Structure 1
Amino acid sequence: MATARIFQRPKNSMQSGRARTDQWQLEFEPAEPKHADPLTGWAGSGDTRDQIRLLFPTLEAAIAHCEREGHDYTVVPAPKKTLKLQAYADNFR
């Protein structure tokens, strides 16, 4: 049985936009470890579920999908948003 991880995507720290941060993402845990290819050195495995990422509008929709398909799942809570309030003048202290 496949184990899935459900989480909310964090905001990209390199950009100011918040696109797709309100959606919930489902990823499957790897079933086998990755190994290096002897010829190219690239990391790979035979597990194709590593390539699947599903997006859902709500947490309830993601949980319903897992229960309908018979997947075990863990919900990772969204991290707390912390704001560092700082004035521009603080750069010159």
Structure 2
Amino acid sequence: MKVRVFKPAKNAMQSGRAGTKHWVMEFEPRAQKLPDHLMGWIGSTDTRGQVRMEFETLEEAQAFAAKHNLIAEIELPKSRKIQIKTYADNFAFKRVV
């Protein structure tokens, strides 16, 4: 059985990085999601799609997957590009050539 191990991205609506320090393990979906024609909800018979486990380190997630015979696909986080900006840069003169 396949699982995906990744570090969640920062919420685009907030400036803080809460919730991005842990590793998350999710199971790959095995069943197709189908709409309920009466209520309009989307559902599936696959209950593993609701499981989301969090680990402090990548090694803990790998150990859990190995212990339970799971095939882990690991997605390493991308490095952040920090652009240092100051308020004065908004008013700086920039010569157009």
Query: TM-score band, normalised by the shorter chain?
Result: 0.7 to 0.9
After superposition, the C-alpha distances for 1:23-76 in whole angstroms (9 at most, x for unaligned) are 100001100111111111211100000110000000000000001011111001
Q: Which amino acid in the other structure matches residue 33 of structure 2?
A: K
Q: Which stretches in structure 1 are left out of the alignment for 5+ residues?
A: none
Write the mapping of 1:1-93 to structure 2, written as runs, cut at 5 A. 2-91=1-90
Q: CA RMSD in A?
A: 1.6
CA–CA separation in structure 2 for the residues paired with 1:22 and 1:11: 10
TM-score, normalisation: structure 2: 0.83
TM-score, normalisation: structure 1: 0.86
Q: Which stretches in structure 2 are left out of the alignment for 5+ residues?
A: 93-97
> How many residue pairs get matched?
92
Q: Percent identity of the aligned residues?
A: 42
Q: Which amino acid in the other structure matches residue 7 of structure 1?
A: F
